[in-house]
Amino acid sequence: MKKNETKLKVGLAQMAPVWLNKLQTIAKIKSYLEDAAAQDCELLIFGESLLPGYPFWLSLIDGAKFNDPVQKEIHAHYLRNAVEIEKGDLADFCALAKKHQLAIYLGIIERAENRGGHSLYCSLVYIDATGTIQSVHRKLQPTYEERLTWAPGDGHGLSVHPLKDFRLGGLNCWENWMPLSRTALYAQGENLHVAVWPGMVRNTIDLTRFIAVESRSFVISVSGLMRPSDFPTDTPHLDKILAKAPEYLADGGSCIAGPDGNWIIAPVAEKEILLTATLDLNRVLEERQNFDPTGHYSRPDVTKLILNKDRQSILKIENKD
C-alpha cells in the first residue's frame, strides 16, 4: 500500500440544524464544509436527519394522536422542508465536495420521488470526493415514535465505498444495534464504520466501542445537537413544543473508537464543534490478525446472510414507450 493512501483525516460536524428550515440549514452545513476543507479534512460526517432536522415534536406533543390537526400541520411543514435529491437539493454539497476533494456523509430527511414524493425517509447520503452521490441509504426501521412520520427503507443503500485504502460504510442511529445490518457492511470489506445519530451520549458511549471491537474497524459516531433556542420562531406550534422541551433535546456525543475499542476521541457533549482526527489503516490490519468477523473467523458453511439491495417501489414500469 502507498503510504499516503493509508492515512485519512476525518471531520465530525456536531451541529444543530436551523430546525425544519431547509435553506438555512443548507447554508449552515456549507459553512462546516468550508471549515473542514480549510483544516485539510478528507472526509466530513454529519449527524442523522440533520437536514432539515429530527422530529422532536412527536415525543413532546402527543404525536400518536390520530387525525389531529396540529400533527398534520407540523408534518406538512416537515414535508415542505424535506430533501428532494432529484430536484438538486444536494447540488451545492456535491460542488463543494468536488472543489475541496472532500467526501461527505450527511443525514437527511428524504422526500422520495420513487415512492410518490409524499412520504419521508431518514436517509444517509454518501457523496464522494468527486462530488458524486454514491449511495442513499434509507433507514431500514424507524425507531418507536419515528414511525409516525418516517417510512421504512430498504437495502439499496447498504453499500461500502472506497476512500484511499479505506472502505467506508454507514448506518442510521439504532440500525447500528442491528447485527445483520452491521454484518452486511462488514462482509463488503468495511474497515471504517460511520454511525450517525440525532444526538445523545447515552447512545454513543457504549455502542461505538462495541462495534469497533466486534468489527476490528474504526468507528465514527457523529451526533447532532438541539436546544430550545435552536427552534426558529416561525416553527408551527412552537409554544406547544417548547412547553415540555428539556434543556437538551439532543446533547451530542460525537466520538471515534479505534479498532481495538479504545477512544481516539471520547464522546463530546453539549457543544457545537468540528472535531478532527487522522486515522491510520495499519491499526485495522493489526487488529484483524486475531479476529475478522466475516473473514477468517467466519463460518459461511454454517451461517450465511442474504442482502436484498433492490430499491423498493410500488410501481414497476415495464414499457416506457
Is 2 designated active site? no
Is 5 designated active site? no
Q: Which of 196, 231, 269, 252 is nearest to 61 (CA)?
A: 231
Is 94 designated active site? no
Which residue in the list 41, 94, 122, 173 is annotated as catalytic? Answer: 173
Which residue in the list 22, 41, 42, 48 is annotated as catalytic? Answer: 48
Dihedral, CA atoms, 37, 107, 16, 99, nearest 10 degrees? Answer: 20
Q: Which of 146, 156, 78 is nearest to 114 (CA)?
A: 156
Distance CA 205, CA 30 (A): 28
Q: Which of 283, 306, 137 is nearest to 212 (CA)?
A: 283
Give the helix ranges, DSSP H, for 81-200.
91-100, 179-186
E runs forming strands in 100-191: 103-111, 120-127, 133-138, 161-163, 166-172
CA 130 to chain centre: 20
Fill in the amino acid letter for 287: E
CA 91 to chain centre: 18
**Phi, psi at 5, each rounded to 5°:** -95, -5
Which residue in the list 139, 175, 214, 255 is annotated as catalytic? Answer: 139
β-bridge partners, 192: 168, 218
With b meaning 16 or more CB within 10 Å and e meaning fewer, what string describes 150-175?
bbebbbbbbbbbebbbbbbbbbbbbb
Active site residues: 48, 139, 173
